[in-house]
Amino acid sequence: MEGLDTAEGSFKAIAMATIIVVVISSTAFIYFSSLSNDNDSDITNSLDIASLRICGNSTDILFPELMEASCVFQEGNWMINASFVDDSEGWENPEIYDIEFSVTPEEIEIINLRLHEGLNGTYPSEISPSLLLESSPHIGFDIEITYTDGSWIYVTTFQTDPGHIISNSGTGTPDTSLLKGTVLEPISALDSLVTAIYTIFSDHLDTT
CA 53 from chain center: how many Å?
9
> Where does the chain have alpha helices with state H?
2-43, 105-120, 129-134, 191-204
Residue type at position 50: A
pTM exceeds 0.75? yes
Give the pLDDT confidence score for residue 24 in this predicted structure.
40
> pLDDT (tens digit, 9 = 90+) per residue, 151-164?
999 999 999 988 99
Buried b (16+ CB within 10 A) or exposed e, 119-136: beebeebeeebeebbeee
Q: pLDDT band at residue 89, thresholds of 50, 70 and 90?
A: confident
Q: Is the pLDDT of residue 37 over 90?
A: no
CA terminus-to-terminus distance, the chain:
92
Q: What are phi and psi of 136, to 5 degrees?
A: 50, 60
